[in-house]
Structure 1
């Protein structure tokens, strides 16, 4: 049971509960009005009666998030997700709301937190200048998604009654801008003017094989099948089984090197990060992609040049069996590739797109070639769900639907102008009139029957009934 006690101008709801140790404790909750106090009294009594009462806790957001990362994050997150989420927690969550008790976080608090984030300046990471004065909407969305996941666990752990981040409507829907892409002609121009061999190979793999940057940089020669026999039988292909990324030593240690196949030896042992080969982020990303013959020959020429360089450098060449590697054989990280890509884009005066857009160009081009065959395209891109393609590339599918209408026009309506059909007028008397025959050109119909034997056969069957 709970009671209400008036103290000066406030009203206190007083009730007893058992803590985690089974000890009986008394709790006082103050309200400025009797109405609010009575509402809380009824709520406490109802929850205690039906067994849904959650005992008060003084655990703060920071303390709770430590448990959340340890018990949930380390089991469910990938290396990159772990590093990204810990950065959000240390930069934008703990400094602002870390000292707040989790049971004080309600919808009003969430709305206030959102307004604070909108006026928060981005934290400078690795001396990179922020692109905007205040936190971009995409970063705030990531923070809210992380906290929604965390407080969802708090509900399961019976620390709070509701997930305020899930219920909050503070976060507006973000309108993402349509990303520009290069068409096939522009990609041809880029390849013609490309002077960097590893970038040349990477562009071809991104466009022809719909590969992600990390998948290209993590591709090894043992996953390529480009023998003379493979090429002659149109069966040249590559298997995507891993990707290259950089992860913190902290993440590698805390996650016990989860899904990591290989850790490259660092140039400087005191660095806090390592370059690794790891399992792709989703099961659908592990896939086989067939290679056009021209690309197969490009890769063979690239391998020949790589072997010659390896022989020339001798022990100075670090052979990790990577297809796209630095001149000394060491892994080529994304920042190196992107810098070369930006230089090419500027020198050749090409449209301003990011390297990842080549994958979008690939998907668009293949949808057109496949006449909108989503499944065939999905097999190459490695998207987890087909609807991810239909949502992003719906404009391509709409173009094919326009073509379908044109084909239908030619196949069904072509040659016969059905607009000449004059339906019989409704009779104003009880006399039944014979309907007027449709008006059409007999010569045109004969010509259609001559051009379509199937139509003539069908017509004959109908007349015989």
Structure 2
């Protein structure tokens, strides 16, 4: 059962729930209007009745991911490079932007904002989670769509575990993933091929490159 109490200019919904250890806990949630408080009261009572109530948690994205990562590494016996790659993605591409946000407050639009931000972020902005000073030239080289796609993939996998662990009801990661980058191959002109061959003094290297270009 939940109750509504007027406190100053706001309305509070008070209710009791059982935590993961079976202990009764009291919780207060404040709302600016009585209508919002009433709607939340009905939602809580319904979720408690049907067993879908989500235990309140203030765990942040950074805390969750840094807890999830070593567990997955151990469970799936990742190679060191796989662990290091995922750790780098978390430290440099996720935590600096949404790491301080609470998991239960994340919405799909937060994910979309993250992808948009990353698409405008220069490569190497963070290394081991530390902000880097970039040159003007480095600032012009932005993260690729493939890199952002990897962020999406990692968050999609991690947040599904958050659902299984009872931290989230539903993953906020969008179904549609960012598009991977496609880089068109450049073909040398006849002049460029001749210039390259003319610059090679080693006859064996000259022959090898010549055959490669012909092929």
**Residue 24 of structure 2 corresponds to residue 24 of structure 1:** yes
Q: What is the root-mean-square deviation of aligned Cα atoms in Å? A: 3.7
Q: How far is 1:87 from its partner?
A: 0.4
Question: 1:174 maps to which residue?
Answer: 179
Specify the alignment match of 2:61 in structure 1.
61
Aligned to 1:108: 109
Evaluate the alpha carbon distance shift between residue 87 and residue 99 of structure 1 in structure 2; reply closer, same or farther with a 3 A threshold. same
Contact 2:108 2:174 in 1 (8 A): no
Distance verdict in 2 for CA 1:113–1:38, change over 3 Å: farther
Aligned residue number for residue 90 of structure 2: 89
Counterpart position of 1:140: 148
Deviation at 1:349, TM superposition (A): 9.7
Given the superposition, is the C-alpha separation of residues 107 and 35 from structure 1 closer, same or farther in structure 2, using an over 3 Å criterion? farther
* Number of residue pairs the alignment of both structures matches: 192
1:42–1:181 distance in 2 versus 1, CA, 3 Å: same
With normalisation by structure 1, the TM-score equals: 0.36
Looking at structure 2, the residues matched to 350 and 177 of structure 1 have their Cα atoms a distance apart, in angstroms, of: 23
TM-score, normalization by structure 2: 0.71
SS of alignment partner, residue 142 of structure 2 = coil
Equivalence map 1:55-454=2 (5 Å): 55-76=55-76, 77-123=78-124, 132-167=140-175, 173-174=178-179, 176-177=181-182, 179-180=184-185, 195=205, 350=213
- Of structures 1 and 2, the larger Rg is shown by 1
The match for 2:40 is 40
1:13 equivalent to 2:13? Answer yes
**1:179 Cα deviation (Å)?**
4.7
Q: Contact 2:146/2:181 (CA < 8 Å) preserved in 1?
A: no
Tell me, what secondary structure is at the counterpart of 2:12?
strand
Q: Deviations over 1:194-220 (max 9, x none)?
A: 639xxx7xxxxxxxxxxxxxxxxxxxx
Residue 92 of structure 2 aligns to a residue in which SS? helix
Q: 1:54/1:175 Cα in 2 relative to 1: closer, same or farther (>3 Å)?
A: closer
Distance in 2 (alpha carbons) for counterparts of 1:122 and 1:146? 18
Change (3 A) 1:175 1:116: closer
CA 1:12/1:175 → structure 2, altered by over 3 Å: closer, same or farther? same
CA contact 2:11–2:33 (8 Å) conserved in 1: yes
Q: With a CA cutoff of 8 Å and minimum separation of 6, indicate the structure with the bigger relative contact order.
A: 2
2:15–2:27 Cα contact (<8 Å) kept: yes
1:35–1:140 Cα change, 3 Å = farther
8 Å contact from structure 1 (residues 74, 82) kept in 2: no
| Structure 1 alignment gaps of length 5 or more | 201-343, 352-360, 362-465
Q: What's the secondary structure of 1:57's corresponding residue?
A: coil
- Could you tell me how far 1:348 is from its partner in structure 2? 8.7
In 2, Cα distance between the equivalents of 1:175 and 1:93? 18
SS of residue matched to 2:205: coil
- Cα distance 1:113–1:158, how it changes in 2: closer, same or farther (>3 A)? same
The alpha carbon displacement at 1:64 in A equals 1.0
Distance 1:121 1:97 in 2: 17
Q: Distance in 2 between matches of 1:91 and 1:11?
A: 40
- Structure 2: how far apart are the matches of 1:11 and 1:61? 29
Deviation at 1:152, TM superposition (A): 0.4
Deviations 1:20-54 (A, max 9, x none): 33322111223334443333222222221111212
| Matched residue SS, 1:195 | helix
How far the C-alpha of 1:164 sits from its partner, in A, is 0.3
The SS at the match of 1:47 is helix
Contact 1:4–1:11 (8 Å) recurs in 2: yes
